[in-house]
Amino acid sequence: MNPMYVYGIVSSGARIPPGLKGLGPSGIVSTVEHKKIAAIVGDVPTDRPLGLRDDLLAHENVVDSVAAVTSVLPMRFPAVVEEHGVVEELLAPNHAHFQDVLAALEGRVQFSLKGRFEQDVVLREVVEADEDIRALQQRVRELPEDASYYDRVRLGELIVGALEQRRDIEAEKMYERLEPVVADTAAHPPTSPEEVINGAFLVERDDRRRFEEAVEDLGREGVGRLRLRLLGPLAPYDFVS
């Protein structure tokens, strides 16, 4: 038995960037073709189980590097198939489905955008804009710590609520601003009141510059109060099942 690691699916004849280094001992990445589709494959470590952080990074590097130049259906980490099964069990029985998915992704690539408030700046904005919060904050300052416990709890609740409201409004505006230059959007729920946006965007390759410029505009408008981080091009994990 000879296990193969499968990174993703591309169209037959798709160009794979030279010099890719896989997670196996040889580091070689190649393709196995079947009719109009192909699997991106490599060897598998035989002296240890998969699961190291370096394995995951190697997997991501391969699929993201391929995504930068051609449409790819990324496999989830870790995907191991016996060598004979790459065609018999993976490509042949799923040929039509893989073709359909690759057709839907043709000419498109994923970007991920994350943005967080600069906490101190936005907290000041929240306090200045809300009279009740300012009054309660002053009351907490004037009382001994043990006597202001419930007021401090209530103050925290009011501030978090105001932050979340502001976050939701600004996130909606940001998604609306980017909508004209994206093919699809996958919005992830925020993990904290300060996290304004955490979205994946499927972008036409021809619109990549327009999308990046739109994000740059958002960054300039939010300078000093909002930190944005754009990653991509990436394999379109958020747009395939």
**Distance, CA of 174 to CA of 214 (rounded, Å):** 10
Write the pLDDT tens digit of every residue in 87-108. Answer: 999 999 999 999 999 999 999 9
Q: For residue 172, what pLDDT is reported?
A: 95
Residues 6 or more apart in contact with residue 169 via CB below 8 angstroms: none
**Distance, CA of 234 to CA of 182 (rounded, Å):** 14
Q: Which residues of the chain have pLDDT under 50?
A: none
Q: For residue 135, what pLDDT is reported?
A: 81
Instruction: Provide the 3-class DSSP secondary structure of residue 68.
Output: coil
* Structural domains present in the chain: 3-106 (no CATH), 110-129+168-239 (3.30.70)
**Distance, CA of 109 to CA of 106 (rounded, Å):** 9
Q: For residue 151, what pLDDT is reported?
A: 77
Residues 6 or more apart in contact with residue 156 via CB below 8 angstroms: none
**Distance, CA of 200 to CA of 238 (rounded, Å):** 7
Cα–Cα distance list, 95 to 9, 68, 89 (Å) = 10, 23, 10
Q: For residue 1, what pLDDT is reported?
A: 65
Q: For residue 123, what pLDDT is reported?
A: 84
Write the pLDDT tens digit of every residue in 122-156. Answer: 888 888 888 888 887 878 787 777 767 787 888 88
